[in-house]
């Protein structure tokens, strides 16, 4: 099979990262979680007092972007690529509800998106990658070899996210998770810069009733069809 760039886009909690990780492992590719990059920047802003309610202090944040070291490292114990921010593994910190509630505010800032997209494109120069996010097939890699757009109902996505949080030290109510997902859907799909939308040449996969393994099997069949 030829070397591919595979772009996976979709709404929050559709299982993009789960699919991307499984797919990368199956193909022997590198998985890059673009959403984790925006979460890392959001974490930095929160920890440094740059977010007040729904207002981001861009005057303070933007000059710091060029000094942020954001990269992924393979965890030999889990076999997963985990994100590091300025030398610290923040893979668990960025999944907290506090970060989830602010990440769309950060991700809609044009300078932040430009910074992240440049990093993502650099990571994909050698191909053989699976990258997931919200604008990978439309903005980051518009010429990707395969584009997948995942979708599921907001209720199903909230249920998945809620069940994930129950296993962590930062649980939340289902109502709070559903509200967060609904708000993020609106912000992501209506923002001025790189709004979330299905690329014209993307393959739509509704995995609302599919397990992660069933979703993987469906995408592998699509890949087999283009190889």
Residue 167 phi, psi (nearest 5): -90, 0
Summarize the annotated binding site for ATP as residue ranges: 10-18
Per the DSSP assignment, residues forming a β-bridge with 146 are 6
Q: Where are the alpha helices (DSSP H) in 28-133?
A: 34-47, 58-61, 97-100, 103-107, 110-123
Range of the domain at 98: 5-226
Number of Cβ within a 10 Å radius of residue 79: 10
How far, in Å, are 12, 94, 100, 104 from residue 26 at the CA level?
A: 23, 26, 29, 31
Give me the count of residues in the chain.
227
> β-strand 88-89 against 80-85: which pairing, if any?
antiparallel
CATH of the domain at 127: 3.40.50.300
> What does the pLDDT profile of the chain (227 residues) look like in tens digits?
789 999 999 999 999 999 999 999 999 898 888 889 999 999 999 999 999 999 999 999 999 999 999 998 878 887 788 999 999 999 999 999 899 999 999 999 999 999 999 999 998 888 899 999 999 999 999 999 999 999 999 999 999 999 988 888 877 899 999 999 999 899 999 988 889 999 999 999 999 999 999 999 999 999 998 86
Summarize the annotated binding site as residue ranges: 10-18
The DSSP H or E segment spanning 210 is none
Q: How far apart are CA 2 and CA 32, in angstroms?
A: 19
Q: How far apart are CA 123 and CA 114, in angstroms?
A: 14
Q: Report how many domains make up the chain.
A: 1
Residue 12 phi, psi (nearest 5): -55, 135
Q: Do the beta carbons of residue 9 and residue 16 sit within 8 Å?
A: yes
């Amino acid at each position: 099979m030829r070397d591919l760039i595979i772009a996976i886009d979709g709404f929050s909690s559709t299982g993009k990262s789960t699919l991307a990780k499984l797919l990368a492992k199956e193909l022997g590719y590198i998985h890059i979680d673009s959403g984790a990059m925006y979460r890392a920047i959001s974490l930095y802003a929160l920890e440094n007092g740059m977010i007040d309610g729904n207002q981001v202090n861009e005057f303070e944040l933007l000059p710091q972007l060029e000094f942020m070291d954001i990269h992924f490292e393979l965890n030999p114990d889990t076999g997963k690529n985990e994100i590091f921010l300025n030398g610290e593994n923040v893979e668990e910190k960025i999944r907290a509800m506090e970060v989830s509630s602010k990440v769309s505010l950060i991700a809609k800032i044009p300078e932040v998106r430009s910074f992240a997209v440049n990093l993502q494109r650099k990571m994909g120069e050698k191909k053989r990658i699976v990258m997931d996010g919200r604008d990978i097939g439309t903005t980051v890699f518009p010429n990707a070899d395969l584009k997948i757009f995942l979708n599921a109902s907001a209720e199903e996505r909230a249920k998945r996210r809620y069940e994930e949080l129950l296993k962590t030290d930062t649980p939340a109510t289902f109502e709070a998770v559903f509200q967060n997902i609904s708000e993020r859907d609106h912000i992501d799909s209506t923002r001025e810069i790189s709004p979330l939308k299905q690329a014209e040449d993307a393959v739509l996969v509704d995995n609302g009733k599919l397990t992660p393994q069933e979703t993987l099997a469906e995408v592998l069949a699509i890949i087999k069809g283009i190889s």
